Every structure is written in structure tokens, then in C-alpha cells.
Chains A and B, each alone.
Chain A
Amino acid sequence: MTQALYSRTRSPETEKEKGGGGAAMRVIVPLQGVVQGRGGLVLGSVIPCALFYVLQFYLKRHRKDTDEQNNSDSSSQNPTPRSSSYGNLSELPGLTRNWSRGLSSPRNLRGPVSVSGRVSGIVKGADSPYYVGLRRAKEDPYDELSNPNGIIQLGLAENKLSLDLVEHWLADNAEQAILRNGKELSISRIATYQPFDGLMEFKVAVAGFMSQVMEKAVSFNPSQVVLTAGATPAIEILSFCLADAGNAFLVPTPYYPGYDRDIKWRTGVEIIHVPCRSADNFNLSITALDRAFDQAKKRGLKVRGIMLSNPSNPVGNLISRETLYILLDFAREKNIHIVSNELLAGSTHGNEEFVSMAELLDPDDFDRKRVHIVYGLSKDLSLPGFRVGVIYSHNEEVLAAAKKLARFSSVSAPTQCLLTSMLTDAKFVQTLITINRERLQSMYAQFVAGLKKLGIKCIKSSGGFYCWADMSGLIRSYSEKGELELWDKLLNIAKVNVAPGSACHCIEPGWFRFCFTTLTEKDIPIVMDRIQRVSETCKLNR
């Protein structure tokens, strides 16, 4: 009997779902039934409430579970900034409390006014060793003459090797670049409102520079470029456009610590880790990708894309052409997006060839719509202070939305004029790229050799301003705790700031990212000295 009843219950419900229109009719009937039934009125109202409460409770608990799972996945106890949606959840009790207080004494309330729940997570969550180290190094920066005991900054991926070239160019051309020629001044070009996604001439220059950096293997269409105030907002905007709050991106680990902020903070998008291991030289494997995808789906998270960095940050290896094809196949099979962060495309120092995701895309392949490239001038042109980022996409919808969102993050017009001139100076750009590559190569070789002498091995890498060093031999316990102990010693005893692997969500403890492009050659022995001091005490302790 009950079975029969149940089967009947189901049918009106499914019907409701299909129809949707005449809901009003159906509302009347069941309620009528309740009212006419014996005792139905009370129970009919109490039970739905209870059921709904249980449902909510269940949902809430389930989401907490995924949160914990997430944390354990990341194998880090450090409070990395949580996604805003989780921030909301944990703040919920606080909010309701405020509410009720407001109700009980609406007059002359002098309690402090609260900020939004989503930012309280942002305000608190900066204790990742990555940010702690950066801050410490900034407060007490090493200087050979004025502050020889200061902290040496090896945590910031900033390239100062070729700044002399840029400086030289600016000294010669800056005035001219901004003002055009002395006679015909174009003040209205820089002072007035400009297209928020960048001046067309600047887009043309950036597209040209990108293809020059990628050795002419690809040509970029300026009309598919959206410019933003740095690569950080470019990633945030893409994350906002490709995924809704609560959706997820697959990101191979170890990854750039800033992603937790760029992808998650304001957009409410989640990151699913795809662990890469030292055994594979930290190369991405499709098996791991597939497993992460399935796990996410089991947890009920909708995966909307893969976020790659190529050359990878912090490891510095490149993604091979074959892997790129496999990734595209994977994305096609799952019908998801690919965001390829190629910020360091021009900063390669090995012999390996860099292949851009853009190179693989057929002009008439409509899979192009799922590929979005992030670029910027902070690394390859070593101008992070100028704040210029690039979104390059074949997807008109994404471009349309990104163009509007660029209103919140546009590049200053004088800077655009300045850079347009700089990037169209083909001779200068070619010299810069060549010399920068030479210097990068030489610094890399010297730095890695220095570490080798100390018995520290690095992963073989071909791109980026850093090397990815295996110090697992020096940590006291093979765990995140051991790694952070060593990091702490390096920062406070040796006075060098490096990024620990756990800040990059590396699954294996004991790896560190050393950025060597903020140094000069003569700093290398000092750095090695300092590291040696710590490594000796570590060896003694073992």
C-alpha cells in the first residue's frame, strides 16, 4: 500500500518539474487535502518545517565536510585564504547575532558596525609563509652597504637582471613616448576617458610583442586582447567569467601561491588540486587530472576548467606539445575550459622549446572557444610596477564580459602610451629579449651550481626566474612541519626568504622555490654562505 502511494507521489512531482507553469492550481489541492485531513493542519505545517530544517542542516554539514577535505588535500595547516563562500558559512553565526542584537535594541545602538562576512576571511587570511616572508624581506631588505644583515629576497618572482636596458630606454624616450612629438601634443589622448580594455594601438603593440616573445610561432589578433591592470586581475576576471560561485578549477600542484587569492577570493570559485610528483619531474599526468576530475564530481563540485601555468611556476618546467594536445583532448572530452597562464613565455633559459597553447589551435577549430591565455608585461618585460596584464581569448562571450569588467581594472593611459612606444621599438625589444635570456641563463647556471655544491639538487627547469630545490634531506621530519621549520630557520637565521613548497600546495615536503633574478652575480656566494650555515646546523641535528 505504502509502496503504491509512494510511486504515485513521485509522478505528480515529476510532472510538476516538467510543467512548471500551472503551479498555482496544484498548490491549492494538496493544501486543501491537508486542511481537510485529520490533524493534518498541524503536522502538515510542522513536518515541512522540520524536513526543510534537516535538509538545510544536511547541506551545511556536507559543505563543511568538503571544506575539511579540501584542507587535508592541500596537506597544509597554514590558513590559506579561504574561499569566500566558506568564509560566509563560518561567519553565519556572527551575522545572525548582529541581526538579533539590532532587533532587540534598534534605538541608539552604538555597537561597532561590522564589515561583510566575506572580507573578514580576507582580512585574517594572510599568514601563509609566502606572504609572511615577503613582508619580512620588505621590512628589512638586504643591502650590501647599508644593511648587510638584512633579509635577502628570494621569494619574489621579479626580474631585475635587465632593468638597466629598460632604464636606458625610458631615459631616452619616455617624454617623447607620452607626449608624442614636441610639436603636436596629444593631451586628450592621455587625460580623457579611454577604452577601458586598452587602447587599440597598445593592443596591437602587445600582440606583436607576444608573438615576438614566442618566436613568431603564433600570431595574436589584437581584437581578441583585453588589457587589465596586471595578470592578477586577468586571472580573476577569467575565473569570474568561466565559473560560477561554487564551481571549481583543476590546478596542478605545486602552483603559484597567489592563485588562492586570484581564483577564489572574490569569485567564490574552488580550486581542486591535481598533485604532480618529483618522480615525474613534477610533470602533469592525465591520470592524475582524470582522478581529480572524478573526485571533484563525486563531491558534487562542477569542474569548469583547468588552470595551467606554462612555463610552470614554481617548478619552471615547460609543458610539451604532446601534453598540450592531450590536455586539449581532455578538456574537449569533459567539455571544460583551459586557462593557460603564459606569463613567463619569454623568460626561458634552457634549450627546450616553449609551445604556447595558442599555437595548437586551428583557425577553424571551434574548440578554440575553450582556450584562454593569460599574459602580462610584469615578467618578460620586467615591469611589474606598470601593472599590465593580458587576456587573450577566442570566445566572444568571454571577451565581451571581460571588456566590461576591465572597467574595474584598467591600465593608466600615460602608461599605455609609454609602453606602446617601447613595444613598437623592434630593435630595443629584440635586444632586450636576447640579452635578458643570456643573463637569465647565466644566473640560473651559477645559482644551481652553488646549490649543488651545498648538496642541494634542483629539478631540471627551463623557464622562470627561480629554481625548485629539493631540501628534503635537510628537514628534521619528513612533513610540512619539518619543512616550515627549515623555512623559518632560513628566514630568521640565514636571513634569506624563500617560498616553501607547502605555500605552493606541493604534495611532497622539503621543496623550496628560490628566485634568483632579484640578485646580482656577486650576491650568489653570500646567499650560498647563508644557506650553508643553516644546512650545517640541520645536518648536525639529524
Chain B
Amino acid sequence: MRLIVPLQSVVQGRGGLIFGSLIPCALFYFLQLYLKRHRSHNPQSSPPSPTLSSPKLAELTRTSSRSNLFSRGSNGQVRISTRAISIAKPNDSPYYIGLEKASEDPFDRFGNPDGVIQLGLSENRLCFDLIEKWILENLKDSMMGSDDGDLNINGIATYQPFDGTLELKLAMAGFMSHIMGGAVSFEPSQMVLTAGATPAIETLCFCLADQGNAFLVPTPYYPGFDRDVKFRTGVELIPVHCRSTDNFTLSITALDQAFNQTRKHGTKIRGILLSNPANPVGNLLSREMLHAILDFAREKNIHIISDEIFAGSIYGDEEFVSMAEVLDSEGFDKDRVHIVYGLSKDLSLPGFRVGVIYSFNENVLAAARKLTRFSSVSAPTQRILVSMLSDTRFIEEYIKTTKRRVRNMYDLFVAGLKKLNIRCADSSAGLYCWADMSKLISSYSEKGELELWDKLLNVGKINVTPGSACHCIEPGWFRCCFTTIVEEDIPVVMERIQKAVKSTTNLSNSS
């Protein structure tokens, strides 16, 4: 009140005009500054400019005055950039905490039977024997070049095209179309190779959206998207919620709603980020759905990034349809569609770090090619993969065997969960199942979910990914990856889940 009175008197006097214009202006400016600063560690927040020397810029003046103070031989601690500070902070998402814990104390049947069983990492270890055999037989020839003893060191030691050698692109195109059942053919010249699918997604985000623009992404989504999309590019993710009643299938209505709402807030939407097969749910987008999404994107004039990294890891009977296939049949304006692929899942070689951007847009390809300077694949690795991917007999056998083994594991794992009265969403792909444990949580909320997650990790010693880490709107869902374990481990996992659940029920009963 003390403040109001004097100000009122000033304002009601003849100065009203000046104050009436100056003060709202200043306030508006403050509001903008506030919004900008609070927009999730926005890295490109207003660059300091001398014209802003007015006292309005509270934050900036403070830092500059500090550097003035220090400019005379002072030993101040040197600061890192604001955007790096937020990245440097330890991860607080349960997804990363769990991964870390499981890698620090990994379960081993003999060496460490009390260790944490890793069900949080979608990595396929079921077919290492095949890869091992192939590498043993072919490594030397594949890496060192032709088998007539003529080593071609120039092909691996020297600078290579940063977006991947043409040989690997050719082999990759063949492999992709093989994986997708031969329904599509891929053009090597539309391909850009990166050091993993993660930089592929980041590069695309960088190319398709400016700072502060947004992508629509159906939830639940892969927890890594928050990092890939937002960390360095400053692009936002707008969740489009999918629900268990629809078996977590995307609906155009939800898409439209999210689009309109975001536009009302003044954020510009530049695209949709899909994963098909979905991670973490494991369901597929139907052909009709893909057509509908394309129509939607065309109507709104936005891009589509289709992450098809699990395209070959299908264990159900449903047919996988690539966005590329739909484009082929329809002849839509292809410029807006970009496909992400990689060898980390379908060929189970995440250590090799190979990702693919496949785009129909010349500008995006041109920019992405230049950006691969920051993320290219090592030449020896490319050499090995060229041979491996062109070995059709091996690839055929590998694909068949993986499919069989993944399916077998899926059946066993889901059956095991069912015995514990835990149901999974219908799924046909991926290296995981999406389990509904909402009946086991003490309160139907994120808190209850995280309590159960904590019990599973610390009492049951199994690491799974809670739905909240995937931004699932319904609590109680968990992603369990089952390809990092062997068949004999399944009973152990089930026992441990039971143990953890018991301890929560005891806890909630006693409290």
C-alpha cells in the first residue's frame, strides 16, 4: 500500500500521459524478458547489445558490471555458457538414473547375481552370436579392402565424404528396402549418414525448425527425444496425448487440437515427429493413418519426421508400412517427409554409431550433408558395414533369426507378466513391451508410479522405464525391454517384480 499511494498521486497528475506510456512499455518489456528467460533455458536469449544499457535489463547489466569489476586483475571464477549449465546438471529423469544404476552394477548370472537387471535399454543382444561369427570370418577382408592382398589404406585413413561413402549408402539403401520387405526402394543419393540416429534427429530438427519453433510429438515418446530435439537446437516439443483406451494409437483429432492450441500461444509448429514402430508402446501406424497424417501435414504445411529405426524389429503379424512406401504410392508432395533410420536396433550394432537421414527435400539434404561434418561415421566402420550389409546371405539369415528370437522372447516375457496379472498393450514391434502396472501403484498419479519404479529398481533390482519419463498421460505404465536378457533370466525378472510389488503393498498397507 505504501507504494501505491505515492504512485497514484504522480500518475493522476499531469504526468499521466508520459507515465501511462513509459510504464506499460517498460512492464511489457520486462514481461518479454521474463518469458524469454524462462523459456526452458533458451540458449539464444537476447544477445547483449549496447543499446540495452538502460537499467531495464536487470540480468544483463549485472553480469556486465561484474566483468567490469573483474577487469582489473581479479581472479573471478570463469563462467560457462548458460545453455551449457543446464546441460551439465546431473540428469534427474528416472530414465537416465535407472540406466546409470544398471550400468554401474550390472546383473550377471554368475559374476553378480544380485546386480540390477537392465530392462531399460532397448538393445538387442539376442543375435550377437551371428554377428560375432560374421566378424570373425570377414573382418580383415572387409576392412583392409580387396582380398588380393592389395591394401587400400587411402580408403580409410584419409578424409572421406563426411556424409558417408557412396558404397555404404548403396549397401544401406539395399538393407533398408530388404528390412521393409522389399516394398520400397531407397535412393542412395537421398541419404545422409550420421554417427547414430540421435544426431540424425538433431540435424533434422536443426534443418526444419528455428529456435522457438515446435514439433508435435505423440506421447508416450522415447525419453531421448527431449535431448535430441531440445538440447542444442532450441526447438520445443508439443505432446499429443494418446490414451490406453485407443491402445495408444494416434488420432488426428488430438493432433489437430494440439496444433490449434499451440498456435494460439503463438508458437510456430514446423512438423510432426513420429516413431513408427512406436517407442515405447510398440504399435504400428496403419496405412490409413499414415495417409491421414500426410493429409494433415499438407493442410498445415508442416514437415513429417518419421523415425523408423525399429522397422525390422517386428514380432507381430501386423504389416509394417514405411512412410516412404505411402509416398511412393501416392505421389504426395514429398518435400515434407524425412525418414530416420539406423543400424543400432535392426542390426543390433549401437556401438558402431550409424544413423541415416533419408529425405526427399534437396535443401534439407544439402544442409544435412554439411552438418555431418560434426557427426560422421568412422571410415573403418563404414568399410566393415559395406561388406556386412552386402552379404545378402548373412543378412537374410540374420533378419530371419532375429525375428524368430525376438518373437520368442516377447511371448515368454508377456506370458510371465500375465501370470503376475500385469497386462501389456497390444504391440507388434520393438524390443520391449508396454506394461500396465496401474493396479500395483499406491496412488494413481505420477508419484505412485515413481514409487513403484523406485521399488523395482532398489528392491527388485530391475531397471524399467516409467511412463512418466516418456511423458505418458496415464500413470502406471512401464516399458520393459526384453532383448538384453536371455531366456533363463525371465523367471528371475518375474520373481523380482513380485518381490518389489509385495514390498510396496506392504508399505501402503502399513502406512
* 8 A-B pairs with C-beta separation under 8 A: A29-B4, A52-B28, A171-B151, A229-B378, A261-B370, A333-B74, A387-B195, A387-B378
Q: Please encode chain A, from 375 to 415, with 1 for each CB lying within 8 Å of some chain B CB and 0 for all others.
A: 00000001111111000000101101100110111111111
List CB contacts (< 8 Å) of B245-272 with chain A.
268, 270
Nearest Cβ in chain B — how far from A139, in angstroms?
12
A335 adjacent to chain B (CB < 8 Å) = yes
Please pick, from A108, A229, A268, A369, the residue contacting B376 in the complex, using a CB distance under 8 A. A229
Q: How far apart are the CA atoms of A188 and B70 in the complex, in Å?
A: 51
A185 adjacent to chain B (CB < 8 Å) = yes
A363 adjacent to chain B (CB < 8 Å) = no
Q: Which of A189-197, A207-215, A342-350, A463-471 contacts B (4 or more CB under 8 A)?
A: A189-197
Would you list the 7 A-B pairs with minimal beta carbon distance, nearest first? A246-B47, A33-B11, A34-B20, A37-B16, A47-B21, A413-B351, A44-B20
B135 adjacent to chain A (CB < 8 Å) = yes
Q: How far apart are the CA atoms of A44 and B17 in the complex, in Å?
A: 7
Contacting residues, chain B, for A268 (C-beta < 8 A): 43-44
Which residue from chain A places its CB closest to the CB of B377 in the assembled complex?
A412
Contacting residues, chain A, for B125 (C-beta < 8 A): 188, 192
Could you tell me the dominant secondary structure of chain A's interface residues? helix
Which residue from chain A places its CB closest to the CB of B121 in the assembled complex?
A193
Which residue from chain B places its CB closest to the CB of A33 in the assembled complex?
B11
- Pick from A13, A194, A242 the residue with the most CB of B within 10 Å: A13
Q: How far apart are the CA atoms of A374 and B493 in the complex, in Å?
A: 45
List CB contacts (< 8 Å) of B60-87 with chain A.
63-64, 67, 70-78, 80-85, 87
Q: Which of B178-186, B284-292, B358-366 contacts A (4 or more CB under 8 A)?
A: B358-366
Q: How far apart are the CA atoms of A412 and B381 in the complex, in Å?
A: 7
Q: How far apart are the CA atoms of A175 and B132 in the complex, in Å?
A: 13
Contact B195 A229 (CB under 8 A): yes
Nearest Cβ in chain A — how far from B157, in angstroms?
5
Q: How far apart are the CA atoms of A22 and B1 in the complex, in Å?
A: 11
- A51-B25, A236-B374 known; A25-B379 Cβ under 8 A: no
Contact B210 A117 (CB under 8 A): yes
Q: Please encode chain A, from 286 to 310, with 1 for each CB lying within 8 Å of some chain B CB and 0 for all others.
A: 0000000000001111101000000
Contacting residues, chain A, for B93 (C-beta < 8 A): none
Q: How far apart are the CA atoms of A40 and B19 in the complex, in Å?
A: 10
A540 adjacent to chain B (CB < 8 Å) = no
Contacting residues, chain A, for B420 (C-beta < 8 A): none
Show the binding face of B for A, using Cβ within 8 Å: 3-4, 7-8, 10-12, 15-30, 43-52, 55-56, 58, 63-64, 67, 70-78, 80-85, 87-90, 121, 123, 125, 128, 131-132, 135-136, 139-140, 143-144, 151, 153-160, 195-196, 198-199, 202, 206-211, 213, 227, 231-232, 268, 270, 298-303, 333, 335-336, 344, 348-354, 361, 363-364, 366-367, 370-371, 373-381, 384
Which residue from chain A places its CB closest to the CB of B268 in the assembled complex?
A99
Contact A158 B158 (CB under 8 A): yes
Which residue from chain B places its CB closest to the CB of A233 in the assembled complex?
B374
Contact A300 B376 (CB under 8 A): no
- A384-B159, A397-B85 known; A12-B299 Cβ under 8 A: no
Q: How far apart are the CA atoms of A29 and B140 in the complex, in Å?
A: 80
Kindly list 12 other residue pairs between chains A and B, CB separation below 8 angstroms, not including A167-B157, A408-B195: A17-B56, A48-B21, A113-B301, A160-B154, A188-B125, A230-B374, A300-B49, A333-B72, A337-B78, A386-B157, A395-B78, A408-B196
Q: How far apart are the CA atoms of A370 and B11 in the complex, in Å?
A: 50
Contacting residues, chain A, for B17 (C-beta < 8 A): 37, 39-40, 43-44, 47
Contacting residues, chain B, for A106 (C-beta < 8 A): 299-300
Contact A119 B135 (CB under 8 A): no
Contact A230 B376 (CB under 8 A): yes
Q: How far apart are the CA atoms of A43 and B72 in the complex, in Å?
A: 47
Contact A9 B18 (CB under 8 A): yes
Contacting residues, chain B, for A409 (C-beta < 8 A): 195, 199, 374-375
List CB contacts (< 8 Å) of A48-89 with chain B.
48, 51-52, 55, 58-59, 62-63, 85, 88
- A32-B11, A408-B198 known; A385-B158 Cβ under 8 A: yes
Q: How far apart are the CA atoms of A62 and B199 in the complex, in Å?
A: 35
Contacting residues, chain B, for A395 (C-beta < 8 A): 78, 80
Q: How far apart are the CA atoms of A115 and B207 in the complex, in Å?
A: 6
A93 adjacent to chain B (CB < 8 Å) = no
Contacting residues, chain B, for A40 (C-beta < 8 A): 16-17, 20
Contact A241 B349 (CB under 8 A): no
Contacting residues, chain B, for A126 (C-beta < 8 A): 370
Contacting residues, chain A, for B344 (C-beta < 8 A): 193
Please pick, from B24, B210, B231, the residue contacting A48 in the complex, using a CB distance under 8 A. B24
A27 adjacent to chain B (CB < 8 Å) = yes
Please pick, from B55, B89, B90, the residue contacting A17 in the complex, using a CB distance under 8 A. B55
Contact B23 A115 (CB under 8 A): no
Contact B21 A43 (CB under 8 A): yes
Please pick, from A13, A334, A418, the residue contacting B380 in the complex, using a CB distance under 8 A. A418
Nearest Cβ in chain A — how far from B273, in angstroms?
14
Contact B151 A167 (CB under 8 A): yes
Contact B67 A335 (CB under 8 A): yes
Give the size of the chain A interface in residues (CB under 8 angstroms): 140
Contacting residues, chain A, for B363 (C-beta < 8 A): 115, 119-120, 123
Contact B82 A244 (CB under 8 A): yes
Nearest Cβ in chain B — how far from A231, in angstroms?
11
Nearest Cβ in chain B — how far from A433, in angstroms?
16
Contact A59 B51 (CB under 8 A): yes
Q: How far apart are the CA atoms of A27 and B26 in the complex, in Å?
A: 11
Which residue from chain B places its CB closest to the CB of A46 in the assembled complex?
B21
Contact B4 A398 (CB under 8 A): no
Which residue from chain A places its CB closest to the CB of B233 in the assembled complex?
A266
Nearest Cβ in chain A — how far from B136, in angstroms?
7
Q: How far apart are the CA atoms of A514 and B153 in the complex, in Å?
A: 24
Q: How far apart are the CA atoms of A93 and B260 in the complex, in Å?
A: 24
Contact A122 B128 (CB under 8 A): no
Q: Please encode chain A, from 242 to 270, with 1 for each CB lying within 8 Å of some chain B CB and 0 for all others.
A: 11111100000000000001000110100
Q: How far apart are the CA atoms of A121 and B47 in the complex, in Å?
A: 19
Q: How far apart are the CA atoms of A266 and B44 in the complex, in Å?
A: 11
A102 adjacent to chain B (CB < 8 Å) = yes
Q: Please encode chain A, from 3 to 28, with 1 for each CB lying within 8 Å of some chain B CB and 0 for all others.
A: 00100110011101100101101111
Contacting residues, chain B, for A110 (C-beta < 8 A): 298, 333
Contact B44 A245 (CB under 8 A): yes
A116 adjacent to chain B (CB < 8 Å) = yes
Contact B128 A412 (CB under 8 A): no
Q: How far apart are the CA atoms of A182 and B45 in the complex, in Å?
A: 55
A521 adjacent to chain B (CB < 8 Å) = no
Contacting residues, chain A, for B213 (C-beta < 8 A): 116
Contacting residues, chain B, for A216 (C-beta < 8 A): none
- A43-B20, A109-B299, A156-B159 known; A17-B4 Cβ under 8 A: no
Contact B374 A408 (CB under 8 A): yes
List CB contacts (< 8 Å) of A100-118 with chain B.
102, 106-113, 115-118
Contact B50 A299 (CB under 8 A): yes
Please pick, from B51, B302, B333, the residue contacting A62 in the complex, using a CB distance under 8 A. B51
Nearest Cβ in chain A — how far from B325, in angstroms?
20
Q: How far apart are the CA atoms of A101 and B350 in the complex, in Å?
A: 43
- A44-B20, A48-B24, A116-B207 known; A302-B333 Cβ under 8 A: no
Contact B29 A410 (CB under 8 A): no
Contacting residues, chain A, for B156 (C-beta < 8 A): 385-386
Contacting residues, chain A, for B12 (C-beta < 8 A): 33, 36-37
- A385-B160, A401-B80 known; A229-B375 Cβ under 8 A: yes
Contact A386 B379 (CB under 8 A): yes
Contacting residues, chain B, for A404 (C-beta < 8 A): 87-88, 227, 231
Q: How far apart are the CA atoms of A247 and B63 in the complex, in Å?
A: 13
A232 adjacent to chain B (CB < 8 Å) = yes
Which residue from chain A places its CB closest to the CB of B43 in the assembled complex?
A245
Contacting residues, chain B, for A387 (C-beta < 8 A): 195, 376-379
Contacting residues, chain B, for A47 (C-beta < 8 A): 17, 20-21, 25
Q: How far apart are the CA atoms of A117 and B212 in the complex, in Å?
A: 12
A451 adjacent to chain B (CB < 8 Å) = no
Contact A107 B379 (CB under 8 A): no
